[in-house]
Structure 1
Amino acid sequence: MKKLVAYITTSYPDREFTVDLALSLKESGVDSLELGVPFSDPVADGPTIEKANFLSLKNGFKIEDLFYVTSKIADKIDTLYMGYMNPFYHYGFSDFLKKASSSGATGTIIPDLPFEMVKRYEDDFIKNGISNITFVAPTTPKDRIKMLVENSQKFIYMVAYTGITGSGKSEDLSEIINNVREFTQTPLYIGFGVDEKTCKEKSKGVDGVIVGSAFVKHILDDNLSSSEKIKKISKMAKEIKEKINE
């Protein structure tokens, strides 16, 4: 069965909403959850997630809120952190990974942490039992793919196109899929531009999909109450999980 990974922005509109949404998503078929860590300059994210980052920070988000949410949900749904290196570094990266582990997180997704820098922190990841998710993109050369994926863990995050999240572009990914498959058996998940309309097509040839902006746009919808947001997002998650497994 193909897997569904959901991204949601932590603590917007507040951390209790994030907890309630996470648990509802688990019941709707989500296999792993990316807790988005708000940051002022989310370079890989489009305007929807960028706005949610800004609003969460405006509301006073702190890293401790991330750990709080994790402690409430991680025993029920596989929980990863998607964020940028700056706040992790300023927290103290070793301390951050230690606290992430004790809160129940299992992995990190850090778009601006190059593979060569990941090696510097390898001992910290191993010591704390935290997997750092590998990225590959349509522009990644085959020889670099081999290097990136040979020790990959949990899953590989394949970027669906060159650009930012949520823009919905499309590229032929057959070559990169074949290249990844040549060097590893680690599951390959596709992200960027995945929603209930595109998920079935994008899931062809891969082991799962990663959905972010399609969910976050409903979190940002001020015309909906908190319960309506959760209901709408959870319904979409269930629909996506069904479509990718038809």
Structure 2
Amino acid sequence: MKKLIAYITCAYPDKNFTIDLINSLKENGVNGIELGIPFSDPVADGPIIQEADKRALENGFKMDDLFEVGEKTGNKIDTYWMGYFNNFYHKGYDFMVKKAKEANIKGFIIPDLPFEEAQYYESKFPLISFVAPTDSKERIKKILKNPKEFIYLVAYAGITGAAKQEDLKEIIEYIKNITSTPLFIGFGVNEKTAKEKAKGVDGVIVGSAFIKILLDDSLKNSEKIKNISKTAKNIKEIINS
């Protein structure tokens, strides 16, 4: 069965909402959580996730919120902390590793940490490997020499949430031939695109489709949780139909 990892912005509108949302997503078939750490310059993310980060920071997000959410949900569902390297560097990487281990976090997703630099840090804690359509076969082979947890295949060159399409059949087949590590595809996955994007991979990573609901100020918090969970359940059914 293909799996679904849900990206959500930590502590927006508040940490208790995030905890409730994670619990609901788990109940609706989500297999893992990519818990986004709000950052002022999220270069790999599109305008939807950027706006959620902006609002979370304006609401007073603190790293202690991340740690508390992790402590209360990390032992219930596979969780990965997603953030830009500045988040980890500012608090101290070893300290972040310590807090992650205490919360049973499975790994870090750091999109602006180049593969070459990541070698030093992944010896301390699992880092999720990114592969892009623009990577050569030689580079992919190098990146996937020792992959952790799962491989994050970026569906296209660009930012999250864009409506782009690229033919990934060849790169998916190549990856599958050199590693048995689960392969997940992210960027631009939603209810309309999930079926096609899930072909040949082990699962999908969905972010902007959920965060768009999160940002809808016409909805009550309970309605946001209900709608995001319903969307997640639909996507899980779509990729396995």
User: Equivalents in 1 of 2:68, 2:199: separation in Å?
Assistant: 36
**How far did 1:123 drift?**
3.0
Within a 5 Å distance, the mapping from 1:41-120 to structure 2 comes to 41-120=41-120
Segment drifting more, 177-186 vs 8-17: 177-186
User: Equivalents in 1 of 2:25, 2:152: separation in Å?
Assistant: 20
Quick one: which amino acid aligns to residue 196 of structure 1? E
Q: What TM-score results when the alignment is normalised by the length of structure 2? A: 0.98
* 2:191 is aligned with 1:196: yes
Query: 1:168 matched to which residue of 2?
Result: 163
Query: 1:128 matched to which residue of 2?
Result: none
User: Equivalents in 2 of 1:197, 1:121: separation in Å?
Assistant: 37
Segment drifting more, 39-48 vs 145-154: 145-154
Cα 1:133/1:122, change in 2 over 3 Å: closer
- Write out the 4+ residue segments of structure 1 that deviate beyond 6 Å after TM superposition: none
**How far did 1:114 drift?**
1.0
**How far did 1:104 drift?**
1.9
Deviations 1:21-50 (A, max 9, x none): 000000000000010000000000000000
* 2:197 is aligned with 1:206: no
User: Equivalents in 2 of 1:122, 1:200: separation in Å?
Assistant: 32
Paired residues of 2:182 and 2:202 also in contact (CA < 8 A): yes
1:228 corresponds, among 198, 223, 232, to 223
Unaligned runs of 5+ in 2: none
Deviations 1:81-140 (A, max 9, x none): 111000110100111111111122111110001111111123322xxxxx2100001000
Quick one: which amino acid aligns to residue 167 of structure 2? D
Question: C-alpha root-mean-square deviation of aligned residues, in Å?
Answer: 0.8
Deviations 1:23-80 (A, max 9, x none): 0000000000010000000000000000000110111111111010011111111111
1:239 corresponds, among 225, 234, 238, to 234
Paired residues of 2:186 and 2:204 also in contact (CA < 8 A): yes
User: Equivalents in 2 of 1:119, 1:159: separation in Å?
Assistant: 20
Unaligned runs of 5+ in 1: 126-130
* 2:165 is aligned with 1:150: no
Quick one: which amino acid aligns to residue 176 of structure 2? R
Q: What TM-score results when the alignment is normalised by the length of structure 1? A: 0.96
